[in-house]
Structure 1
Amino acid sequence: MKNLFVKWNKMSLVKRIVIGIIVGVILALTIPSGASWISIFGSLFVGALKAVAPILVLFIVMHAIAVHKSGKKTNMKSILGLYAIGTFLAGVVAVIASFMFPVTLSLTAGAEDLSPPEGIAEVIEKLLFNLVSNPIDALVNANYLGILMWAVVLGLALKKANQSTKDMLGNFSDAITKVVQWVINLAPFGIMGLVFDAIETSGLSALKDYGRLILILVGCMLFIALVVNPLIVFIYTRKNPYPIVLMVLRESGITAFFTRSSAANIPVNMKICEKLGLDEDTYAVSIPLGATINMAGAAVTIAVLTLATVNTLGIEVDFMTALMLCVVAAVSAAGASGVAGGSLLLIPLACNLFGVPNDIAMQVVGVGFIIGVIQDSCETALNSSSDVLFTATAEYAKDRKEGRATKVVSVNS
């Protein structure tokens, strides 16, 4: 038993996760539906990640800023630019794909009791209020904009603290990072439970009627992950982008796909950045911020489902309105985490561009919830993996400009 445990720990995390997926599928197909206790492993894993992530972000950012030396530059401007470019291009890809492969929907009731935001101003207002949220409330509700704001403010206030205080912050940060490592090592068992739960529920059987819509959504996200993002990386770094692109999809995208939570994937992404040897002063801020505003997958969801609604109603779309939809999808996606229901509840906002009544738009939201088991998984995988990708890209681009050799680290968890 001890030898088996040692061999298991020596195996790479990705291989262990693949084993967990296979076991989850086998259990779901062979064990009676009443054995729902297996899914508890998934709930516990996601719960543990979500529990540790806010504390991790608070202490790592606070420590990074407190010990940051004046004059040392970070790459945050470049990373924010990459986040904006990636999200906007995702909206463009979704709009073009929707014109090339138009989809119509069979609308049914199912989400009319939800309240979407009335406009972009409301989304932005929500994000701004999240920035000044009570720190305890921000931690409890995993409000990462609020956590980041307080971490930055406290970090700046502690810059002139004595060294022992900074060392204590560093010790807390290291301890929480160690806890994260323990939780991540449980990923194979957690993902086994998540796979079992996904197959054991009736969610998959309900997807047959929306096969074409799912293909458009997943196709757009794959195109962005495997074509658009690599092109962005190449333009910035002038190097073959696929080693880093495929690595982040494997190391970050797999866990994000099954947890369906960018917040839960923050600890995973920070661990990857650490293994890549990236600057902690940068990734300590860029990763939690990316989990909040870097939402290429959400832009795809908003644009595709909006144009599917327009096609269903037979509304003509001109070039300027389509371009405006790209902008609205990108801005709305960046504010998706500030709205309960994420990207789906921002669809009515985009539908307003075309004069679609709110009751019909909310029926489309209902369709989104039906296909969420696939749509949300792929969306989260794209969003979360690109947080690491763009953080690394900004640092590699900086190395190229300064004539330094790009760090090459083989991530093998």
Structure 2
Amino acid sequence: MEVLKNYRGIFWLLGGIMAGSIAGLLLGPRVGIIKPIGDIFLNLLFTAVIPLVFFAIASAIAHIDASHRLGRVLGVMSLIFLSTLLIAAFLTIVAVWIFPIHQKVVLAPIAEPGSTGTFGDQLTRLLTVSEFYELLSRKNMLPFIIFSVLIGMAAMRAGERGASFRRFLHSGNEVMKDLLTLLMKAAPLGLGAYFAYQVGTVGPQLFGTYAHSLGIYYGFGTIYFLVGFSFYAFVAGGFKGIRTFWKNNIIPTLTAVGTGSSIATIPANLEAVHKMGVPASVGNVVVPLGATLHKDGSSISSIIKMAVVFAMFGKGFDSVNVIVMALGITVIVSIVEGGIPNGGYIGELLVMSVYGFPPEALPPLMVIGTLVDPLATILNATGDNVAAMLVTRFLPKRPAVSV
């Protein structure tokens, strides 16, 4: 019953989507009359995302303990987190190339983003805006995220002078998290209406694309869990490291499945990494921070979702620029989404912003993110344990940080 309680949000969402899909199959184009319900839901999400991202990022950075941020543990940890995220993302891209996602029905062809000017000009437009008000558009998510990071850093550096502002950021973050939780209660109805419209106008061919993408995720994700984590454990401690990791990773894995939460798995992870031989000075830093910053499962799902919407909107997912951008977005998404309920949706909005997809791209992204959640949670949560082993392996003998 506890497992059902933890996943009831997913069940309600899937129930709404299934009901909408059936209505679309039965009523065909006539179901378009309920499309405004889906549009209203998406518009509410679009308007909430800007303040949500700002408070989540700025608050998290503003409350970092400045005395630890340059410590050796955090430095090595950051490199390990970044490396495993990029490895997971790149291998997923290779899997998508080997098993390409074919979509016969294009939802809505879109124009390629403008490429006028030099590379420097394009990079400037991608990372910054010239007016403050332009930051408040979801079409400029990446510049807005950079701005939020800078605000958070300034609030942290201000020390006592910025105490009141940091409390404001914390309070704002709590309010916006509750707002998103409230909006997501309408997700079964909103996404159900949108899928009724899509199935009614496009047809059941969409189901094949979803099934194919889920097959890639669960197939590759399982291989990465077994083979990839075993490889990391071998790097950390040889064959003994592999035995130690899997012997003590069973309980965290079951906890992640039962709770559906990386945060809720922290106690099991802390006990597991202790048994794996990870010092408390490492485990007590890597595991809690990893629960919000290190998400291999989210890295894999980000690539899968990008590949799906590229196929649905008739764009190629194979050019160098697209791949480099995809890797960068994956890293940002994995870091940003940790402290936000349903944080994966923030990453999906970032994908839409950077690549110029229309609002119709959000429902497919949200559905795939929902369906892959169980395995993604396992990868996100237990990946912190093997990361702690790697940090221990590469940390200098006399770490600067102790907890």
User: Which interval holds the TM-score relative to the shorter structure?
Assistant: 0.5 to 0.7
In structure 1, C-alpha distance between the alignment counterparts of 2:352 and 2:310, rounded to whole Å: 19
**1:176 match:** 172
- Identify which of 358, 383, 395 aligns with 1:393: 383
Q: Give 1:79 deviation, angstroms.
A: 2.0
Q: Residues 375-395 of structure 1: CA distance to partner in whole angstroms, max 9, x if unpaired?
A: 773268669985995586246
Name the % identity.
11
Tell whether 2:129 aligns with 1:138: no
In structure 1, C-alpha distance between the alignment counterparts of 2:126 and 2:300, rounded to whole Å: 13
Going from structure 1 to structure 2, the CA distance change for 1:94 and 1:129 (only over 3 Å counts) comes to same
In structure 2, C-alpha distance between the alignment counterparts of 1:19 and 1:109, rounded to whole Å: 25
Q: Give 1:78 deviation, angstroms.
A: 1.9
Answer yes or no: is the 8 Å Cα contact 1:218–1:378 preserved in 2: yes
One-letter identity of the residue aligned with 2:61: M
Q: Residues 279-334 of structure 1: CA distance to partner in whole angstroms, max 9, x if unpaired?
A: 676777668xx99998322564489789x999xxxxxxxxxxxxx95966632423
Gap regions ≥5 residues in structure 2: 234-241, 267-285, 330-348, 394-403
Gap regions ≥5 residues in structure 1: 1-10, 253-271, 311-323, 346-365, 404-413
Q: Residues 218-272 of structure 1: CA distance to partner in whole angstroms, max 9, x if unpaired?
A: 32233233333554344335545787678778988xxxxxxxxxxxxxxxxxxx5
Q: Give 1:85 deviation, angstroms.
A: 1.0
SS at match of 2:99: helix
In structure 2, C-alpha distance between the alignment counterparts of 1:375 and 1:25, rounded to whole Å: 16
Q: Give 1:90 deviation, angstroms.
A: 1.0
Alignment of 1:122-137 (within 5 A): 126=122, 129-133=125-129, 137=134
**2:218 match:** 222
Query: Number of residue pairs matched?
Result: 329
One-letter identity of the residue aligned with 2:135: A
One-letter identity of the residue aligned with 1:14: Y
In structure 2, C-alpha distance between the alignment counterparts of 1:299 and 1:38, rounded to whole Å: 25
**1:295 match:** 302
In structure 2, C-alpha distance between the alignment counterparts of 1:19 and 1:210, rounded to whole Å: 21
Q: Residues 53-104 of structure 1: CA distance to partner in whole angstroms, max 9, x if unpaired?
A: 2222342243134745354343322222122111211121122224xxx96x
SS at match of 1:201: helix
- Identify which of 81, 86, 89 aligns with 2:88: 86
- Identify which of 162, 172, 194 aligns with 1:165: 162
Tell whether 2:157 aligns with 1:150: no
**2:63 match:** 64
Answer yes or no: is the 8 Å Cα contact 2:58–2:149 preserved in 1: no
SS at match of 1:12: helix
Going from structure 1 to structure 2, the CA distance change for 1:211 and 1:225 (only over 3 Å counts) comes to same
**2:324 match:** 331
**1:195 match:** 191
Going from structure 1 to structure 2, the CA distance change for 1:29 and 1:339 (only over 3 Å counts) comes to closer
TM-score, normalised relative to structure 2: 0.57
- Identify which of 18, 23, 26 aligns with 2:11: 18
In structure 2, C-alpha distance between the alignment counterparts of 1:309 and 1:131, rounded to whole Å: 23
One-letter identity of the residue aligned with 1:78: I
In structure 1, C-alpha distance between the alignment counterparts of 2:178 and 2:87, rounded to whole Å: 35
Q: Residues 117-150 of structure 1: CA distance to partner in whole angstroms, max 9, x if unpaired?
A: 659x95x964554434466533543745434433
Alignment of 1:217-366 (within 5 A): 217-229=213-225, 231-236=227-232, 238=242, 239-240=245-246, 274-277=263-266, 295-298=302-305, 300-301=307-308, 325=318, 330-334=323-327
One-letter identity of the residue aligned with 2:8: K
In structure 2, C-alpha distance between the alignment counterparts of 1:296 and 1:88, rounded to whole Å: 9
Q: Give 1:402 deviation, angstroms.
A: 3.6
SS at match of 2:185: helix
Tell whether 2:41 aligns with 1:42: yes
TM-score, normalised relative to structure 1: 0.56
Q: Give 1:37 deviation, angstroms.
A: 6.8
SS at match of 1:377: helix
Answer yes or no: is the 8 Å Cα contact 1:221–1:378 preserved in 2: no
**1:53 match:** 52
**2:398 match:** none
Alignment of 1:203-214 (within 5 A): 203=199, 206-209=202-205, 214=210
Answer yes or no: is the 8 Å Cα contact 1:23–1:192 preserved in 2: yes
Going from structure 1 to structure 2, the CA distance change for 1:149 and 1:303 (only over 3 Å counts) comes to closer
Alignment of 1:401-412 (within 5 A): 401-402=391-392
One-letter identity of the residue aligned with 2:111: L
In structure 1, C-alpha distance between the alignment counterparts of 2:305 and 2:10, rounded to whole Å: 26
Q: Give 1:201 deviation, angstroms.
A: 0.8
One-letter identity of the residue aligned with 2:324: V
